[in-house]
Amino acid sequence: MLNKLLSYISEDIAIDLGTANSLVYVRGRGIVITEPSVVAVNKKTGQVLAIGQEAKKMVGRTPAYIVATRPLVSGVVSDFEVTEQMLRYFIEKAHKRKFFLNPRPRVIIGVPCGVTEVEKKAVCDAARNAGARVVFLVEEPMAAAIGARLAVQEAGGNFIVDIGGGTTEVAIISLGGIVLSKSLKVAGDKLNEDIIQFAQDEYRLLIGERTAEAIKIGIGSAYPLKEKRQLPMRGRNLVTGLPEEILVSDEDIRRALEKSVKQIVTEIKTAIEETPPELLADVMASGIQLSGGGSLLKGLDTLIQKETKIPTKIIEDPMTAVVRGAGMVLENLDELNEVLVETEYLEPPK
């Protein structure tokens, strides 16, 4: 009874706690928060100074004892207390309008496939401590598939590849469950590292992560582009110690990314090899669906399609699919509860 009353006054929320970006969806309102998963911490006192956008702005501009950390590594909680503070910040921010209440919402959170019991407990406990009344978990590729409006509850096979910042997750979904999944710790962040490494090896140029990401998004590709592209890459020459600018081409960057891109493609191929033949027949008809920010790398869909011989496309709005899908699960809990991950937290405490 009390629970029913509570669900009227506090709005349920869905959270995609990504390695790179976190998104929050409020039932009935849609996506209300999109912020980088960054927390600025004072190392001397352990105090959290800023979260999200604010914290990202501080990166590289603060005294050495203030560090910007990412509380999640490969989508899994690596720093429990910081994750809890970040969740509390999101929950409170999402409920800003209702300052006169102390809302304890039901919260659904996306987690990578195959998280361990310990990892599940860490996320649930952090959300509980941050103010959630009930915590549900949903696997990210499942949420992405629901967000893409694939028929996850039907018998046909759905093949989804979520390429985020920290992980690439491949999942085959049928009858509301994940039939097979693979997780690889190579995704968007690794591609940035590849560009940093390339600049160092090739030109003795030290570049920052933001520069690397801008180059990746600007001219990075997995498959030859129709038109040649170039961008200046700015950094510090490691020999002279002086600033330097070097013009790099899409071809240079494609070469820098080649190894990691190949690992992603191989992971997809391995999943295809392991897919039961009946489901594979469905997948050949329905195609491979890509989600996550990493899937936006130019030509990656073309390369995957060429290598697997299965039609491949990026779903609409790939970076918000997980949180939208999780939100849809919240809105239709009766119908979709079978897609939730089993936890001991499905019921509120007595």
Ligand X SMILES: Nc1ncnc2c1ncn2[C@@H]1O[C@H](COP(=O)(O)OP(=O)(O)OP(=O)(O)O)[C@@H](O)[C@H]1O
Calculate ∠ Cα 134-137-143, nearest 5°. 130
Bridge partners of 326? none
Note whether 143 and 165 are within 8 A (CB).
Answer: no
148 binds, among ligand X, Mg ion, none (CB under 5 to 8 A by kind): none
The phi-psi region of residue 52 (left if phi > 0; otherwise alpha if psi is between -120 and 50; otherwise beta) is: left
CB of 255 to ligand X, least distance (A): 16
How far apart are the C-alpha atoms of 136 and 328, rounded to whole Å?
Answer: 13
164 binds ligand X (CB under 6 A): yes
| In 140-229, beta strands by DSSP E | 158-163, 168-174, 177-184, 205-206
Q: 28: burial class by Cβ within 10 Å (0-12, 13-18, 19+)?
A: exposed
Residues within the interface to Mg ion (CB under 5 A): 18, 164
Interhelix angle for 250-274 vs 300-308, to 10°?
Answer: 40
Q: Rule CB under 6 A: say whether 75 interacts with ligand X.
A: yes
Q: Which of 166, 235, 299, 327 touches ligand X by CB under 6 A? A: 166
- Judged by CB under 6 A, the number of residues near ligand X is 22
**Exactly one of 141, 157, 294, 327 binds ligand X (CB under 6 A); which one?**
294
Site for ligand X in 6-45 (CB under 6 A): 18-21
**Taking CB under 6 A as the rule, which mask of x and - marks residues 186-225 in contact with ligand X?**
-xxx-----------------------x--xx--x-----
Shortest distance in whole angstroms from residue 212 CB to ligand X: 9
Nearest distance, CB of residue 101 and Mg ion, angstroms = 31
The yes or no reply on residue 292 touching ligand X (CB under 6 A) is: yes
3-state secondary structure of 294: helix
Contact residues for ligand X, defined by CB under 6 A: 18-21, 75, 164-167, 187-189, 213, 216-217, 220, 292-294, 296-297, 319
